[in-house]
Amino acid sequence: MPHTTDIGARLLYRDALVLVIDKPAGLPVHPGPRGGETLTDHLDALRFGLPRRPEAAHRLDRDTSGCLALGRHAKALARLGKLFSGNQAGKTYWAIVSGGPTEEGGSIDMPLGRRSSDPRSWWMKADPEGDPALTHWRVLGRAEGRTWLELKPVTGRTHQLRVHCAESGWPILGDPIYGGAPRGSALHLHARALSLPLYPKREPIVVQAPAPVHMEAALSACGGTA
């Protein structure tokens, strides 16, 4: 596994229904057509006495680090699935972008569609006929030629934040698909926090993941800390 051989060391939150882990960048959540190591290979270590391993309740791109919620059994997965599909789960990302907006905050309302009809392709594009996609953003810091953004996607489209930033003129640092970075670059996109209103009579579960090592220098330059 990238950066660690102990998935248990990346556990951020645990209760009877849900686990939240800090997924390392470079590790796919689900198996792909090319095979190779995935998060699923490590989930047996997170059973904590239950008969089955937990399963991911939503997606994070392979190269995105940070908060990932896992349902501990089928009923938990169903409840979490409703939160994410109904856009009730609060998701907060940190990104370092090239250039940056002139304003200090705003929203990007830009429908997205697939670039290709090939079902194996996940690459997306801005498409007026595509699925609605909405992202709120605000500036957290600036450095020469770069900006540290907080991104809050309301919808959960594939590659939504990457396309929204690139189409706005400030691609995410290290993005080889939408930002022109060399292949193998470290994507500066991190799932910083999750807010899960899982229990009706309790406050939402709020979990934060520390910034990954590969983003620390850029964050520091923009006035941030891990």
Which residues participate in catalysis according to the annotation?
A: 61
Give Rg (Cα) of the chain.
17
- Of 60, 83, 69, give the one whose Cα is nearest residue 160: 60
Contacts of 65 (CB under 8 A, 6+ apart): 22, 23, 24, 25, 189, 190, 191, 209, 212, 215
CA 168-171-173 angle, 5° bins: 160
Planar angle of CA 223, 224, 225, nearest 5 degrees = 135
Contact 122, 28 (CB under 8 A): no
In whole angstroms, what is the distance from residue 217 CA to residue 78 CA? 39
